[in-house]
Structures are given as structure tokens and as C-alpha cells.
Amino acid sequence: MKKSIIFSFLLIVVFTYNLSFAVTGDIVTSFPSPGTCPVGLTFDGKFLWIADYKTDTLYQIDPENGGVVNSLPSPGFRPSGLTWDGKYLWNVDLEENLIYQVDPETGIAVKTIFCPSSSPMGLCWDGKYLWVSDSRADKLYQLSTEDGTTIIELPSPSSTPQGLCWDGKYLWVADRIEDKIFMITPDKGEVILYFESPESYARGLAWDGKYLWNVDYQSDRIYKIKIEDEDPFKRKDQKCQSLEFTNEFRNYGPGEVKDVNIYIAVPENLPNQELLAPVVFEPEPDDIISDKWGQKVALFRFQDLKPTEFRRASMKAMANIYQTDYFIFPEKVGSIADIPGEIKKKYLVDDTKFCIDDPFIKNSAEKVVGDEQNPYWIARKLYNFVLANMHYELAGGWNIAPAVLKRGSGSCSEYSFVYIALCRASGIPARYAGSVAIRGDDASQDDVFHRWCEIYLPNYGWIPVDPSGGDYDTPWHQARAFGHLANRYLITTVGGGGSEYLEWGYNSNEKWTSQGKCKVYTEHIGEWSPLEQGSKAKE
């Protein structure tokens, strides 16, 4: 059997990565809302309450079957957000710009305060204060219940915040344009995780202590949503693609290239990708080898290239690639002491591009991390620091991490070197992934490629972090690059630093010896072609 088939992947083995059946964001159950214009939603410890602005009614709902238990007239003319403080309902009115405290037994508004928001949508209670979302200002406000005074003002995770609820530690925000539901911190508004809303016009949100509830204005349904699960990630938006990657080596002379070794990194099954057939090489490689990081590489040996001669090696892979989202709850992340010893030994070491003992790297990491102990927040603080102090720029080389951080700009590779250096200096194992990327159309060509980082979080494993991909202003776009991969990458290379074959590159590399003056040119191109779903390689 050919080596390319032996090593590429044992396709007869069932794909071992977990195909999630119940993950964060999945719908547990749903039922119709009692009115056709549902907006606010809350949970009183036993029942759900829904505000409907067409009927100007607050409905008490049985969460087991959706049946109406009771109803009250809303205190205003256009009810919107709704929340429960343990004894009373609070209802914000979009027309009056007032927030009413309502006795659920009598329906009497026992208190009325002014709402400083011009377009209040969501409302929630955090145990001491009210929160309101404003869909025009794109803000979230924490308000005093005495007179509506603003205590905290946060940026919304995206442009049209609607529903709002509190789970005891985090805020949840529904956005009807992005069609997403976000979990954010109440101090800075940082997005921790997000998922697609059940339908296209997510409004009210409620938390019952275990599940999240969402009422959708378009479908007129109430959804019970699973939040925490053992499955750490979800795959969706499958693309079935063929990739032909070519490394071409040319000798323009006038001297002679005595020998050249071309190394091509070989993709394997990962959470974001599933190979459909053995990888095919042209010509057949001379050997299949692994570098010190465990990366498999196809080796092609060529000799005696006269002036104007060239040699070419290629790899063809067929794969399903997916958008992959990780759902990381910081409190479920283990401690640094929980990180396996073999992971620490391999991915906390220094290397020439990292320079983790450089005073500038060490001092920067120590200043950013402070006394933080949670590995998630250590990694997230360092990520935020890189975003705040760097901007994307192709400066022409791959400089070492301290130089790049001092310069304040870099390519995707240089961003990766900086982030890996900071993480390792702080005790967080980190490595990089290199890929060929789909550039726009599914039938496209890539000669730029892309690299990002992976960090190890105990209880979760390796998580993708793309610091150069988080270079945005909006909170959710920044969060999207932490624990998320788009369905446009085929990962070829996973490495922890310099490789004896790929060196500091990824996808491929070449080494040669020459005699006399030789002008050498190398070309690396990835060509994508979409495949029909279910395609397999020909025998």
C-alpha cells in the first residue's frame, strides 16, 4: 500500500471527534406565545411572564406547556422589557419612557421611575439594580430603582439589542439583526460566548436557573434553550471542498541546484474538518515523516536541477470543513495546576520567535495578568492586550515577538508569535495552526494563507484564538476570534514553534544545496474547488 494512503488517515476508523447532539444554544422545547406581538419575558421562580404590546397585556405562562395561568393589563400603552425582582414585576414602556413596578397579585403599578433610554427594549434585574437595553444608542444601562439614575453604561455586544436577562453572574443579550444571543460580563460588556437565536426576531429573554428562555417576535413562539453541556463545541455550515496545494521550485541559474527537499504538511481530521478520502500526492513522496511537534510531513527529494529547470510537488485533499464554535464558561475552566504535565513540558518552552524570557515580554505579561488565576481570564486579558496594542500590517518579515509588540503591528504570523509568547510567559500552553484559506468564492485560489493560535484550557482542551482576526471595534466581533473558526480553513499544520522540516513556516517548505550562482524562486498555491455533498475520492 502506498505511503500516502497509509499515513494520511485511517478512514476505516469512525471519525473520533464528537458530533454534538446537544450543545449550548440547542432548543429543548417550544410553544406558541399567547399574543402575536410578544416582546418582554421574565421568570418569577415558577412561571414565565410575557409582555405583548398589541394586546397591552402581561401574561403569566406555565413553562411546562405554555398555558396562560393569569393575565394583567400592562401599566403603559406600549409595553416592552419585563423582569422580576423576587416580589414585583418591572415593565418598561417604549412609548412613555417609564419603568413601572407592578404588583402581580393586583396589577397595580406601585412605583414609576423615568427611563433614561430613548428606545428601551430589554429589561432585567440583577438582584440590586435594573438593566435596560437601548436599540438606538446600542447601549446597556444599569439603573437605580430609586429614580432611574444611570449607574453603569456599557456598549451593546452588537447593533440592535433587544431582550435582556441576568443569570446571577452574567448578562444575556438578544440581538434581532445579528440573530444572536450573547453572554457578556456586567463590568465591561465583554462577550464570553454567543450562539444563533432560535428564530429571526429574538426579543425577550429569561433565566430559570438552568435554562435560558427566548420569545421570538416573528415566529410568535417561546423557546427553552440549553446552555451548559458537556460538548464544548458545535459544528455547522458544512462546506464540501477539494484543495490542491502545489509547491513549485524553480532554478533560474546560472549555477546548478544539487538537491532540493520539498516538505508538504499533511492535514488530518480535526474538530473543524473531516477528510473524505486519503490525501493524494503527485509525485509519490519519498517518505512520510513527523517533526518534533508530531506534525506529519510528506518529503519529496529532487536532484540536479540545471538552469531553467523546475520541480513540482502537490497534495490534493478532499474534506468537509465547518464553522466551529466553542462554548467556554470561565467558571468551568480548571486551574493552571490541572494542565497535564506533558502539555506544559511541550508548549511552555521558549523558542527563537517567542523570546518569553525577554524583559519586555515578561513585564508586559505580568502587568496585564496581575493576580488573575483563572486560565481563561489570563488568556482573555492577554488577548485584549494584543488587540489594544497592535494593528494588522504586512511589514515584510516574521520578526520576533518582542520586536513585533514594540512596533505595534504585524502579520497574522507575527500576531501569533506575540500571543503565544505572552501566554507561555503566563503559564498558558499555546501553539499555532496554519492553513490554506478560501478567499471569497468556494472556487478560489490562495497564496497568502493564514495562521492563528491555539491555547490549552483545562477541562476544555485546545481552543482556537485568532488575535489578528479580532482586530475590530465591536465587542462581539472581537469575541468571535476567541473560540471560533469560520468554515473557510483547511488546517494543514499544527506546531509549537520551529520545525526541523517546516522551520517557522506552515503548509510547506523547501531546503536545497547549490553550486555556483543560483537564482531560486518558489511558488506556493492552494486551489479550491467545491464538491457536491457526499463526494468521495475515486478508487
- The string of pLDDT tens digits covering residues 126-171 is 999 999 999 999 999 999 999 999 999 999 999 899 999 999 999 9
Tens digit of each residue's pLDDT (9 = 90 or more) over 265-313 = 999 999 999 999 999 999 999 999 999 999 999 999 999 999 999 999 9
- What's residue 13's pLDDT? 34
Cβ atoms within 10 Å, residue 188:
11
CA distance 38 to 57: 10
Percent over 90 (pLDDT), the chain: 89
Give the residue-averaged pLDDT of 35-41: 96
**8 A C-beta contact, residue 223 and residue 216:** yes
Domains of the chain plus CATH, in order, are: 3-18+235-322+501-530 (no CATH), 27-227 (2.130.10.10), 329-482 (3.10.620.30)
Which pLDDT score is estimated for 534? 56
Closest CA to 249 of 499, 514, 436, 527: 514
Half-sphere exposure of 204 (CA within 13 A, CB side): 34
50 closest CA partner among 31, 64, 65, 71: 71
Give the span between the Cα atoms of 207 and 213, in whole angstroms: 6
Which of 16-25, 99-108, 434-443 comes out lowest in average pLDDT? 16-25
Residue 511 Cα distances to 16, 501, 514, angstroms: 35, 9, 10
Average pLDDT for 438-453: 96
Residue 537 is predicted with a pLDDT of 42
Rounded mean pLDDT, 121-130: 98
DSSP state of 467: G
- The residue whose grid cell reads 526541523 is 500
Indicate if the alpha-carbon torsion angle 74, 76, 79, 81 is positive or negative: negative
Q: Confidence band (pLDDT; 50, 70, 90) for 425? A: very high
Answer whether residue 248 shows pLDDT above 90.
yes
Distance CA 190, CA 326 (A): 16
Length of the chain: 539
CA–CA separation, 164 and 172 (whole Å): 6
Write down the pTM of the prediction: 0.92
The side-by-side arrangement of strands in the sheet containing 430-437 is 461-465, 450-457, 430-437, 489-495
Peptide bond into 340 cis (omega under 30): no
For residue 395, the model assigns a pLDDT of: 74
Q: What is the mean pLDDT of the chain?
A: 93
Strands 233-265 and 296-305: antiparallel
DSSP helix/strand/coil, 318: strand
Q: Is residue 492 a contact partner of residue 449, using CB atoms and an 8 Å limit?
A: no
Quote the pLDDT of residue 16: 38
Confidence band, pLDDT 50/70/90 cuts, at residue 451: very high
- Strands 130-134 and 150-155, bridge-based pairing: unpaired
Q: How far apart are CA 220 and CA 478, in angstroms?
A: 32
